[in-house]
A and B are shown apart, each in its own frame.
Chain A
Amino acid sequence: AQKVTQAQTEISVVEKEDVTLDCVYETRDTTYYLFWYKQPPSGELVFLIRRNSFDEQNEISGRYSWNFQKSTSSFNFTITASQVVDSAVYFCALCIQGAQKLVFGQGTRLTINP
């Protein structure tokens, strides 16, 4: 069975600080996909990134970066120079190849204070 753990339930930082959201996953499959979604207060799920298990290159998109480490089964997400608009719940998710469903973590509620 697959499992995603986001141990940080809530994080609160002051604007402009860097913040890292942790994600640890469990699967016995060798081919899988990892995702991050943002859920702002309005409730929708906003896709941020998808990464397959064969691509361990870190990725940077503006202030966002992702660190994928298969050795520790982690796919962490860093926001650099955080802004108030980054306040949201962030979900990490896993899907194994050939499967239908996404398995989500519990989410991390991030609050950026001005």
Chain B
Amino acid sequence: AQSVTQPDIHITVSEGASLELRCNYSYGATPYLFWYVQSPGQGLQLLLKYFSGDTLVQGIKGFEAEFKRSQSSFNLRKPSVHWSDAAEYFCAVDPVRGFQKLVFGTGTRLLVSP
């Protein structure tokens, strides 16, 4: 079945440590890929997106993501986490590539410890 999977419900990282959030998708053709962040009680903010080309994508707030076609993955990374990064992170895909009807994963809640 077509789906977006974020296998980690919660992740706790020490401030200053590196972060990797996992995302896998199951679609016949490579969809457009996105990462969003949601702070408590807030809407979603676009961190980065991948449509084609260079498989390492740079986003805002120091985040990057790497697309791996062979693994159907689009993992989000940050080399050094700040306390303000604590939030919910959603991976999303646009299966129709440009029609903006996003399918979201269930999210990963990031906790940052001092």
Whether chains A and B associate is: no
Interface residues of B, Cβ cutoff 8 Å to A: none
Interface residues of A, Cβ cutoff 8 Å to B: none
